[in-house]
Amino acid sequence: MIFLIIVTVSVVIVSFFLDREKTFTGLKKGLRMFVDILPELLNILILVSVVLYLIPQSVLIRWLGRDSGVTGISIAALTGSISLIPGFIAYPLAAILLKNGVSYGVLAVFITTLMMVGIVTLPLEAKYYGLKTALLRNGLSFLGALIIGILVGVFM
Amino acid sequence: MKKILSEIGLGEYIFIVLFGLALVISQAFNFSFVSPIARNFWMFFAEMVTFLPLMFILIGIIDVWFPKEKVEGHIGKGSGFKGALWMILLAMLQAGPLYGAFPVTYLLWKKGCSIRNIFIYLGAFSTMKLPMLTFEIGFLGLKFSLLRTLFTLPIFIVISVIMEKHLQKKQFEVKQP
């Protein structure tokens, strides 16, 4: 957190001395993006607050924690592949889940499948590249995402 | 009712308003199950409200200092290692969801980009965008982000090579729907 403050403040100061106008454009752009995602973020925070209340932490740890093994990875891979959540929302969500006992490995699988595999957008992808190609890319990406997620989990 | 709400742009806030109402009502009637939910929410909210504006400011500044146009000038030149490197760079400077990358690959294809580089672009776009990396480092830590990027890079290159090998003999093209 302190690291982030230091980096952001120094970047803004350096940028300001190099080019005032550019800096203001950048600041405006950034804050605009923040305002744009705010409703979606609040909705997710509400949902997570309710879900984490309904599911006791012990259950969360059993299903998605360090020792959840194949079960945890499967749940993460499925939800990651199916859902369509922007990274701006997915990472804060992942941080909350991490604090509540979900393991790095499970989160890594969720994040990588979320980024690389898109079942919901498959029809759209097929329009650009053809159905077979889209299926192949998603299939290979699913396998790749699993490998990446598991490796990250092992090394964290 | 729905129409009026969406017209004043309140549609996406409806869930939030209802949540707020539920909190107020339950406070009045002393429903015990609501307070832990509210506590959860405020805890998450407080953290996000301090974290996120800083990150978005950083992303905004990065965005104005890295001119995409310069990188775009290198696209199509050479399809070897250098071409792949430029594709990754270009992808890293983008933002948005993966389906936003599909129309871009159509333009790249028209410019003479190889099959492999099209899929390298998609791979880098989905996993290595700078704004996403900023968020990843901020929320899950530098070690997590480094490890994930390190494992992801070779894997999406391998995927792209497989895609090219497979599609070379077929009549592959990127279409504009």
Give the range of the structural domain holding residue B78, as residue numbers without chain letter.
66-168
- Among B15, B75, B150, which residue's Cα sits nearest to residue A45? B15
B71 and B148 within one domain:
yes
Average pLDDT score over chain B: 85
pTM of the model: 0.87
Contact flag A125-B102 (C-beta cutoff 8 Å): yes
Segment A14-29, tens digit of pLDDT: 999 999 999 999 999 9
pLDDT tens readout for residues B7-26: 555 567 778 888 888 888 87
CA distance A92 to chain B (A): 6
How many domains does chain B divide into? 2
Q: Check CB contact under 8 Å for A128 and B61.
A: no
For residue B63, the Cα-to-chain-centroid distance in whole angstroms is 14
Contacts of B148 (CB under 8 A, 6+ apart): A108, A111, A112, A148, A152, B127, B136
Instruction: Find, in chain B, the residue whose alpha carbon is nearest to that of A50.
Output: B37
Cβ contact (<8 Å) for A33 and B59? Answer: yes
B73 with B136, same domain: the answer is: yes
CB-nearest partner of B58 from A8, A53, A104 = A8
User: Model ipTM?
Assistant: 0.90
**pLDDT value of position B3:** 56
- Model confidence over B65-110: pLDDT tens digits? 887 777 777 766 555 778 889 899 999 988 888 888 999 999 888 8
Contacts of A13 in chain B (CB under 8 A): none
Nearest chain B alpha carbon to A127: B177
Q: Does residue B159 share a domain with residue B87?
A: yes
What is the model's pLDDT at position B63? 87
Q: Are residues B41 and B92 in the same domain?
A: no
On whether both B74 and B151 belong to a single domain, the answer is yes
Give the model's pLDDT for residue A15: 95
Closest CA to B31 of A51, A46, A53: A53
